[in-house]
Amino acid sequence: MASEKEAALAAAPSDAPTIFDKIIKKEIPANVVYEDDTVLAFRDIAPQAPTHILIIPKVKDGLTGLSKAEERHFEILGRLLYTAKLVAEQEGLEDGFRVVINDGPQGCQSVYHIHVHLLGGRQMNWPPG
């Protein structure tokens, strides 16, 4: 399997359904830890920490990455971050956690459907990658 960096450099935004669209439609199984009307949170299949959860909006609405955000996305962006807080509590990450949004090839984004990485369960380092 290609490294995350290689996958990000090979990825490109398109109108084709992403793996996340298929997970939302239940075409691909996922270990879901939280779901409501607007967001879905599930465990990453290649975790980078003991707890590594992806949080995605159920409707992409042109929001393929943070750099594509418009004022109309204000509510869903807030919902994604608030959901990260809820899931962190649910996962028992009271000692802290990290939230990451990769954007574009140099940001190591490999799926063009905005998503938040919730990482925890170990000591994080600084600076990151």
The catalytic residue positions are 115
Give the CA count within 13 Å in the CB-facing half-sphere of 128: 11
**Closest-CA residue to 65 (of 101, 39, 18, 99):** 101
Give the CA count within 13 Å in the CB-facing half-sphere of 23: 24
**Which residue's structure tokens are 């925890």?**
120
Q: What is the DSSP secondary-structure string of 31-98?
A: -EEEE-SSEEEEE-SS-SSSEEEEEEES--TT-SSGGG--GGGHHHHHHHHHHHHHHHHHTT-TT-EE
**Which residue's structure tokens are 């398109």?**
14
